[in-house]
Amino acid sequence: MRGRAVAWQVAPCVAAMPSPPILPERCVVSAFQCWRLSAIFMLVLTSAHPAFAVVVFPASGTSSSGHPVSFEASLEISGNTLTLELKNTSPGNSIDASDVLSSFYFDITNGTSRPSLTLQSGSGFVYQVRRNTGDLPYFYTPQTFTQVGGIPSDLVAVVAGDKSWQFRGMNTAAAPQLGFGIGTVGNSGLSPNGFTPAVVGPPGNAMIDFAIFKGGDIDPVGVLDNRYLVRNLATFVFAGVGGYSEAEIVDRVVFGLGTAPDSTITVSVPEPAALAGGAVAALLMGGSWWATRRFRLRDRGRPRTPPSTPIP
């Protein structure tokens, strides 16, 4: 409201000027003060009541097979629901098992407390990827494959033989030091923060099933050939985040590739509040410079109102 009041007080000053308008120094200062106060007001507002939306973690690097890869995780909290989207955004089609996204670690904390998350659903479009021939769409519900396209599969693994994505609370004292993980491979290299082999798939080549690949019709090599993978995107929905917000999503996550995992990519990003506040401040302070410069340019070369002349 203070910003509106200052702007309102400037208006009579400009309206009362004769034609052609003569802009007194007092009006120039008032315009500058208006913008400056607005910037301060917005910074205070965003600090006291941060406005969060979807928190996005982009990642990029090189897989252990030497291929450029990139991924994206987005997390959104609405009431008691957390929605996690995992995307394989690599610049080229996935070729090798080390190019696919098979696990993801994240955390949500408020001081020393964490929400009690439960995985409610997981979905994505599953394809049997085949070298030198067309990939086949499949619909999967735990332990049952149906060769049909256009239906998102159920990706939640709970019991032995489900083979898809298992969610677990993690030991934060061990790597990667994050409270939650979801994956479709054993990740024995991150023990005790791996996943149950009997649940996510039998040991061997089949464990890579349901990892997220990039592409349309791809030509996989090695163990990836003839496996059942999720194309480009998987979505997971959790319950149990009531009382938490995106502000409490820890700004570090880990993407796991391949089965052991073959490699990991760790990403840390600034908190959304800092980005939003900085952007608003920069915009408003830039506006104050523009407004002040504009008024001064308009006033250049024109007679100024003498100090003794009253300004209504």
For residue 81, name the pLDDT band (cuts at 50, 70, 90): very high
pLDDT(303) > 90: no
Q: Is 32 exposed, middle or buried (0-12, 13-18, 19+ CB in 10 A)?
A: middle
Angle at which helix 2-15 crosses helix 25-48, to 10 degrees, equals 160
Helix (H, G, I), strand (E, B) or coil at 225: coil
The two structure tokens encoding residue 154: 């159920």
Joined tokens for residue 300: 């250049």
Q: What percentage of the chain carries pLDDT values higher than 70?
A: 70
Q: Identify the pLDDT of residue 272.
A: 52
Residue-level pLDDT at 204: 77
The arithmetic mean of pLDDT across residues 236-257, rounded, is 97
**How deeply is 85 buried, as exposed, middle or buried, from its count of CB atoms within 10 A (0-12, 13-18, 19+)?**
middle
* pLDDT(22) > 70: no
Provide the whole-model pTM: 0.73
Mean pLDDT calculated for residue range 42-54: 50
Please check whether residue 253 is in contact with residue 86, taking contact to mean a CB–CB distance below 8 angstroms: no
> 190 and 261 in contact (C-beta within 8 Å)?
yes
Rg (the chain; Cα; Å): 28
H-assigned helices in the chain = 2-15, 25-48, 197-200, 272-299
Q: What is the pLDDT of residues 142-201, one digit of tens each?
A: 999 999 999 999 999 999 999 999 999 999 999 999 999 999 999 999 999 999 999 998
Q: Which residue has the tokens 């952007």?
A: 279
pLDDT of residue 102: 98
Quote the pLDDT of residue 53: 75
Residue 94 predicted with pLDDT over 50 = yes
Cα distance between residue 176 and residue 12, in whole Å: 62
Predicted pLDDT at 301: 54
Contact assessment for residue 311 and residue 15, using Cβ atoms and an 8 Å cutoff? no
Per-residue pLDDT tens over the stretch 280-298: 444 444 454 444 444 454 5
| CA distance to 20, 138, 226, 238, 285, per residue, from 210 (Å) | 72, 11, 12, 19, 49
Angle between helix axes 272-299 and 25-48 (nearest 10 degrees) is: 170
In angstroms, the CA 4 to CA 199 distance is 60
Single-letter amino acid code for the residue at 289? W
Q: Are 130 and 170 in contact (CB under 8 A)?
A: no
pLDDT tens, residue by residue, 199-239: 998 877 789 999 999 999 999 999 999 999 999 999 999 99
Q: What is the pLDDT of residue 162?
A: 95
Rounded Cα distance between 251 and 221, Å, is 35
3: confidence class by pLDDT, cuts 50, 70, 90: very low
Query: Percentage helix, strand, coil, to 5, in the chain?
Result: 30, 30, 40
Q: Which residues share a beta bridge with 75?
A: 55, 84
User: How high does pLDDT run on average in the chain?
Assistant: 80
The dihedral built from the CA positions of residue 254, 257, 262 and 265, taken in this order, carries a sign that is negative
Confidence of residue 8 (pLDDT cuts 50, 70, 90): very low
* Percentage of the chain lying above the pLDDT 90 cut: 66
Residues 6+ positions from 274 with CB-CB distance below 8 Å: none
CB 96 within 8 A of CB 63: yes
